[in-house]
């Protein structure tokens, strides 16, 4: 199948077949995604799914008044994994961590398209699988790695989804994202800044040495989930190429 022309910034929409894009395109609406915008609420039906074009969304687990990020989504992916798997809700929250924009589709039309096209469901399930791999590694590093190693991995994951290596984020928000107390965030930032890998200002973190961060984050498994994403995307493209015209 011929790939759809790259009029979108979202990787999934870029690599989706023309026939599958045609199924959902009439329902896609370009929209702003402002900071802290709620996308999914815990155990509430998911109203819309977003193919992110710019910015970052965070999947956050919440229990007994405590929050911790379990997954990051940028222009490589989409929200609404539960919808792709045939459900309509999730126990987690999802909201915008870094402002941007995306292509929104209501959950109903997307579910209808998934029922009509097995190729669309299989293609999007590849991303869902890569997201599960990412969350698995996040659980591992949160349990086994030092704070500055976890922070280095998280900063690289954010940098992969931005263009200039500058992240507008507060210590308080970092503590939620990494599931650590604010004093721990401050110490981890000081360690990386002391190694001249980042520059931390009030509400802003600038990456100075990506290579140095990668060396630190390799102990936290950075690159493994990313490689799995690339592998699954390659499989999706190969499957599209060999699939019969539907």
Mean local confidence (pLDDT), 202-217 = 93
Radius of gyration of the chain (CA): 18
- Predicted confidence at residue 160, as pLDDT, reads 94
Question: Is 0.85 topped by the overall pTM?
Answer: yes
- Tell me: pLDDT of 139 over 70: yes
DSSP-derived 3-state class of residue 222: coil
Q: Sign of the CA dihedral 37, 39, 42, 46?
A: positive
pLDDT bracket for residue 81 (50, 70, 90): very high
The stretch 100-106 carries a mean pLDDT of 97
Strand pairing class (198-201; 29-33): unpaired
Query: Which single residue is written with the structure tokens 């309509």?
Result: 88
Q: In which residue ranges of the chain is CATH 1.10.10.10 found?
A: 146-220
Measured CA to CA, the distance from residue 177 to residue 4 in angstroms comes to 35
Check pLDDT > 60 for residue 5. Answer: no
Mean predicted confidence (pLDDT) in 47-60? 96
Find how far residue 138's CA is from the centre of its chain. 12
Q: Tell me how far apart the alpha carbons of residues 139 and 136 are, in angstroms, rounded to a whole number.
A: 5
- Predicted confidence band of residue 6 (pLDDT cuts 50, 70, 90): low
**How far from 233 is each of 16, 122, 157, 204, 238, CA to CA, in Å?**
10, 11, 18, 32, 9
Q: What is the pLDDT of residue 245?
A: 53
Q: Could you tell me which CATH number the domain at 11-142 has?
A: 2.60.120.10
Asked if CATH classification 1.20.1250.20 holds for the domain at 146-220, the reply, yes or no, is: no
More confident residue, 237 or 27: 27
Using CA atoms, how far residue 38 sits from 47, 80, 104, 145, 226, in Å, is 11, 13, 13, 30, 26
Residue 1 has pLDDT above 50, yes or no: no
Mean pLDDT of 112-127: 95
pLDDT-derived band of residue 207, with 50, 70 and 90 as boundaries?
very high
Which residues pair with residue 58 across a beta bridge? Answer: 72, 95
Contact predicate 75/161, CB 8 Å: yes
Residue 20 to residues 15, 95, 202, 203, 236, Cα–Cα distance (Å): 10, 27, 44, 41, 13
Every domain range in the chain assigned CATH 2.60.120.10: 11-142
pLDDT at position 13 over 80: yes
Q: Which residue has the higher pLDDT, 220 or 246?
A: 220
Give the integer Cα–Cα distance in Å for 243 and 128.
Answer: 20
Query: CA–CA separation, 61 vs 91, rounded Å?
Result: 8
């Amino acid at each position: 199948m011929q790939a759809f022309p790259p009029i979108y910034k979202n990787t999934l929409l870029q690599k989706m077949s023309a026939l599958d894009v045609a199924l959902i395109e009439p329902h896609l609406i370009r929209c702003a995604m402002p900071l802290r915008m709620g996308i999914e609420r815990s155990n509430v039906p998911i109203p819309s799914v977003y193919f992110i074009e710019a910015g970052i969304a965070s999947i956050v687990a919440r229990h007994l008044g405590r929050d911790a990020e379990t997954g990051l989504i940028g222009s490589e992916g989409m929200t609404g994994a539960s919808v792709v798997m045939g459900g309509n809700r999730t126990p987690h929250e999802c909201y915008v961590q870094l402002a941007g924009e995306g292509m929104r589709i209501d959950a109903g039309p997307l579910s209808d398209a998934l029922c009509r096209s097995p190729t669309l469901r299989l293609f999007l399930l590849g991303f869902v699988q890569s997201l599960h791999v990412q969350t698995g590694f996040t659980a591992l590093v949160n349990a086994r790695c030092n704070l500055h190693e976890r922070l280095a991995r998280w900063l690289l994951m954010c940098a992969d989804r931005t263009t200039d290596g500058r992240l507008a984020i507060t210590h308080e928000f970092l503590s939620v994202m990494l599931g650590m107390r604010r004093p721990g965030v401050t110490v981890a930032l000081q360690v990386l800044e002391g190694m001249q890998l980042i520059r931390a200002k009030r509400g802003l973190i600038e990456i100075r040495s990506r290579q140095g961060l990668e060396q630190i984050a390799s102990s936290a498994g950075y690159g493994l989930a990313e490689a799995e994403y690339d592998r699954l995307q390659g499989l999706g493209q190969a499957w599209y190429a060999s699939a019969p015209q539907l």
